[in-house]
Amino acid sequence: MEMNGVQRLENGRAGVSQNTGRTQTGGNQVSFEKLLQESAREGLNFSKHAAKRMNERGIAVDSQLMSNLEHAVDGARKKGARDVAVIGAQGVFIVNVPNNTVVTTMSQSDMKERVFTNIDSAVLM
């Protein structure tokens, strides 16, 4: 069984699958970049850190919020953003756009310093 490039082996250990960057489908070769863009359309992923922060801070993600986040990230992607702060009523979601992954979150009440580093863009929801 494989999930996000990590395979679960029979003895319970995990191994990383090797990807050459190209896939053969029907005689056509597809570039790694195209595969990455296609997988990005599948929806946002949440890192373990982000999931933990959401749980600690009581941030609930429903289908409407998820749709809004995906739309915001897609807009940022079209503008060339790499690391974006998506700011909304529920809080702030820091997203790594190329990996389509929410890396951390904070609620409105957690934003005491109101300083964000290592982002290149912000989207207001």
pLDDT tens profile 52-85:
999 998 888 899 999 999 999 999 999 999 999 9
What CA–CA distance (Å, rounded) separates 97 from 122? 12
Distances (CA, A) of 84 to 4, 94, 101: 22, 6, 11
Instruction: Give residue for tokens 């003895």.
Output: 11
What CA–CA distance (Å, rounded) separates 5 from 106? 28
Instruction: Report residue 97's pLDDT band, with 50, 70 and 90 as the boundaries.
Output: very high
pLDDT digits (tens, 9 = 90+) for 17-59: 444 444 444 555 666 566 555 555 568 999 999 999 999 988 8
